A and B are shown apart, each in its own frame.
Chain A
Amino acid sequence: MSLRIPCPTCGDRSVHEFVHGEIRCVPDHLTDPDERDLDFAFHHDNEEGVVTERWFHAQGCRRWLEILRDTTTDRILEAEES
């Protein structure tokens, strides 16, 4: 099975039509500006479980979607326009 994303505008489409966009969050406990910059530039939560991320439907409606995806199973739980 391929990963498919249910686009609210276009319907069920292959992942290849989309561009993945991560929502970068620098943790609050980092207060030093340099550390925050480093974190923003390079570090990732790399979370195992349900993550909220943004996907751009580049070869479809060209809208940004906000998607809930379980990274352990690669299932999309929720997709809505953002």
Chain B
Amino acid sequence: MNEFVERQMKLTWRPPKKSYDVVIVGAGGHGLATAYYLATRHGITNVAVFERGYIGGGNSGRNTTIIRANYGIPAAVRFYQRSVDLYRGLEEETDRWLMHQQKGILWMAHSEGAVRAERMRAKLNTEFGAQTEFVGPQQVKELCPQLDMSGGGRWPVLGASYHPQGATARHDRVVWALAEGAMERGAHVHQNTPVDGLILDGERVAGVRTAAGDVAAGAVVSAVGGHVSRIAAMAGLRLPIRTHRLQAFVTNHYRQQFGPIVASSELFFYASQTARGEMLLGAEIDPQPSFSYRSSHDFVQDVCRRALCLLPFMSNLRVLRQWTGVCDMSPDYSPIMGQTGVEGFYLTTGWGTWGFKAIPAGGEQMAALIATGEVPELIAPFGLDRFARDRTMADRGSAGTH
């Protein structure tokens, strides 16, 4: 966090104690949201969040800030709709401007099959609480005049599912607001303090070994992104997770207003305009598992080629900045939240390419689970045990890119 921000915020850094009720590993969006909701909803403030770098410095600072709920399976639609609702109230609740902006998201279809899929998505979303409708080419053009409706001749826009509640927010403001909210109420956040091990007491987790010494804990929550397999191994767990790179880039300033978020599951890219006016583009993960933060030129090349089919005006723009995050991918493209079978050890992981939009709901539900000991209905389908029970939550179609 830079000095300028820190001066404006009410962040109180305290030295680590010897023991906490709850220790959260990872001060990204999910870790801090868990601390925030533990404090605000359940009055549990004897909480510490340990972070090896600085708050929001991992994937919380590397995402493309999209908030939406138009997922492909009922449980996911309900869960992400909860998040969309919480995001809308978060500015008022935290009394911080999070630059939350409702833009609507258009999910383009270029073939008969995709039209069917988008129609189905619209029906399913609406049924389970996330307002979505299928719109024809005329309306698509009205919502986003910059689109080449012929798709460069190869990818004609035959229609789209339109999810008006699709939004964006400023990623670091979200993380800072949650950190401030949690710290104001007494939670501790310790930056530059990596967790090197878990303290096991028989079958249960009793604390963490950190760079600042051993800390006892009633519950330990792993909210790390990118290195969750390492944390889980400390508790003797093997996870259904592989870590992949995900890249994104922004162009220089585009003068005109580009209204909605535009996505295409056939061309595999999505685009939106940032508050600074840059065009922000993202696509799918890199194919090989990797923990490297290196970006690659072929990614930009490939995504530009695809994006220009629909948004030819971008050929006048230049790529300004490119970056990479590392995503924990679950085999069914759904998150993993809840208990782990090791007493006192909780996981919130598998946030792949859909972590930012889930921050408030993920934090709220994890906090409820830790505070009450009962798995909330909303996240019950997303437990780690679903793989052993043969109840995977396959949703690749709507989670694959962003």
Q: Which residues of B contact A72 (CB under 8 A)?
A: 291-292
Given that A2-B297, A44-B229 are contacting pairs, would A71 and B239 also be in contact in the complex, using a CB cutoff of 8 Å?
Answer: no
B297 touches A46 (CB 8 A): no
- Say yes or no for B94: interface residue by CB 8 A criterion: no
Q: Which residues of A contact B294 (CB under 8 A)?
A: 1, 73-74
Please encode chain B, from 213 to 256, with 1 for each CB lying within 8 Å of some chain A CB and 0 for all others. Answer: 00000000000000101100000001111110100000000000
B351 CB to closest chain A CB (Å) equals: 15
B287 touches A42 (CB 8 A): no
- Say yes or no for B289: interface residue by CB 8 A criterion: yes
B291 touches A42 (CB 8 A): no
Please encode chain A, from 29 to 57, with 1 for each CB lying within 8 Å of some chain B CB and 0 for all others. Answer: 00000100011011111111000010000
Q: Which residues of A contact B388 (CB under 8 A)?
A: 34, 38
Q: Which residues of A contact B299 (CB under 8 A)?
A: 2
- Judged by DSSP, the binding face of A is loop
- Say yes or no for B146: interface residue by CB 8 A criterion: no
Minimum CB distance partner of A37 in chain B: B388
Cα distance A1–B296 in the bound complex, in angstroms? 5
- Say yes or no for A14: interface residue by CB 8 A criterion: yes
Cα distance A61–B299 in the bound complex, in angstroms? 24
- Say yes or no for A23: interface residue by CB 8 A criterion: no
Q: Which residues of A contact B289 (CB under 8 A)?
A: 20, 22, 44, 46, 71
B242 touches A3 (CB 8 A): no
- Say yes or no for B274: interface residue by CB 8 A criterion: no
- Say yes or no for A15: interface residue by CB 8 A criterion: yes
In-complex Cβ contact of A3 among B227, B241, B288, B331 (8 A): B288
- Say yes or no for B387: interface residue by CB 8 A criterion: yes
Cα distance A22–B289 in the bound complex, in angstroms? 9
- Say yes or no for A16: interface residue by CB 8 A criterion: yes
Q: Which residues of B contact A27 (CB under 8 A)?
A: 238
- Count of A-B contacts with CB under 8 A? 67
Cα distance A12–B240 in the bound complex, in angstroms? 32
Cα distance A20–B287 in the bound complex, in angstroms? 7
What is the interface size of chain A, counting residues whose CB is below 8 A from a CB of the partner? 27
Q: Which residues of A contact B296 (CB under 8 A)?
A: 1-3
Cα distance A58–B19 in the bound complex, in angstroms? 54
In-complex Cβ contact of A46 among B241, B245, B286, B287 (8 A): B241
B246 CB to closest chain A CB (Å) equals: 14
Q: Which residues of B contact A41 (CB under 8 A)?
A: 387
A15 touches B287 (CB 8 A): yes
A42 touches B240 (CB 8 A): yes
A43 touches B227 (CB 8 A): no
A57 CB to closest chain B CB (Å) equals: 14
Q: Which residues of B contact A69 (CB under 8 A)?
A: 288
Cα distance A46–B290 in the bound complex, in angstroms? 9
Q: Which residues of B contact A43 (CB under 8 A)?
A: 238-240
Q: Which residues of B contact A48 (CB under 8 A)?
A: 227, 230, 291
- Say yes or no for B203: interface residue by CB 8 A criterion: no
Q: Which residues of B contact A74 (CB under 8 A)?
A: 245, 288, 290, 292, 294
Q: Which residues of A contact B240 (CB under 8 A)?
A: 42-44
Minimum CB distance partner of A67 in chain B: B288
Q: Which residues of B contact A42 (CB under 8 A)?
A: 240, 331, 387
16 pairs of residues in contact across A and B, judged by CB atoms under 8 Å: A1-B297, A3-B286, A3-B288, A20-B287, A34-B388, A42-B387, A43-B238, A43-B239, A43-B240, A44-B238, A44-B289, A45-B238, A46-B241, A48-B230, A74-B245, A74-B292
- Contact surface of B with A, Cβ cutoff 8 Å: 227, 229-230, 238-243, 245, 286-292, 294, 296-299, 331, 387-388
A2-B297, A71-B292 known; 20 other A-B pairs, CB under 8 Å? A2-B299, A3-B286, A14-B298, A22-B289, A38-B387, A38-B388, A43-B239, A43-B240, A44-B238, A44-B239, A44-B289, A45-B229, A46-B229, A48-B291, A69-B288, A71-B291, A72-B291, A73-B294, A74-B290, A74-B294
- Contact surface of A with B, Cβ cutoff 8 Å: 1-3, 14-16, 19-20, 22, 27, 34, 38-39, 41-48, 53, 69, 71-74
